Amino acid sequence: MKELQGKTAVITGAGSGLGRAMALAFSREGMNLALADVDEAGLSETRKLVGNALTMRVDVSRETDVQKFSDQIQDPYVVCNNAGVSPLGAVWENSVGDWEWILGVNLWGVIHGVRAFAPRLIAQNGGHIVNTASVAGLISPPGSGAYNVTKHAVVALSETLHHDLRERGSAVGVSVLCPAYVPTGISDSERSRPAGLSRAALSEETKAKQANLKKAVASGRLTADDVAKAVVAAVKEDRFYILTHPRIKGAIEARMRDILDERAPRDPLRLGS
């Protein structure tokens, strides 16, 4: 069981949603906080809620931003690579700007976080890295191909990071967080799209899916606080997979069965229909 009191938790995407909930949860454990987000107003609000924290505007898609953030932090212990965005659309409809944006935040953000912090945790032979993926990293729902690509990549990166650390005899832990629908701000992530990255014109099908996603996210039974508590528990227990929604395991199992049986994948959103 890892002791967290007095140690430092690093969280990206801390200006709202799950990142803010993680900040509050780790604060309740008596940890010091280093928080990052592109949303400075949201970050300021999170800082007010947790009392005191090092905060910095960071675009996680930029290596220099993440490295400057790391340089400001003494003795990081828990590192949560959490920032994420979610443009929707059929894979042929997403613009190059859509792909650059989501790959930059969801995948390169995690890569930059691992590269900046993992060597420091390895050097102190202790700590824990939490990478936020999604159940979309374990199944492949239609209409969110770009998002699925990034989240599958984060799961693969995290699993390999775990193996690499064990191979080197390191005590650094790794967890990958794979939640389903949780009421957070990710369905409104367009507000943080950088200027200059083109957005695809949305088809009527994608507009309908976007509306349905917002409803599903808003009606999620688990809250961001529930998921944050699960993250804290996983870090303490040194547990790798964080699956917050047990009912999704049927869809994960169905995907694995389709692979093993070498048949076309079933739509994970229609398995019960």
Contacts of 167 (CB under 8 A, 6+ apart): none
- Calpha distance 73→57 (Å, rounded): 14
Residue 186, φ and ψ in degrees, nearest 5:
-65, -30
CA of residue 41 relative to chain centroid, distance:
21
3-state secondary structure (DSSP) of residue 81: strand
Q: Which residue has the tokens 């395991």?
A: 249
Annotated catalytic sites, by residue? 147
In this structure, are residues 32 and 17 in contact, taking their beta carbons and an 8 Å threshold? no
Written as six digits, the tokens of 142 are 């239609």
3-state secondary structure (DSSP) of residue 134: coil
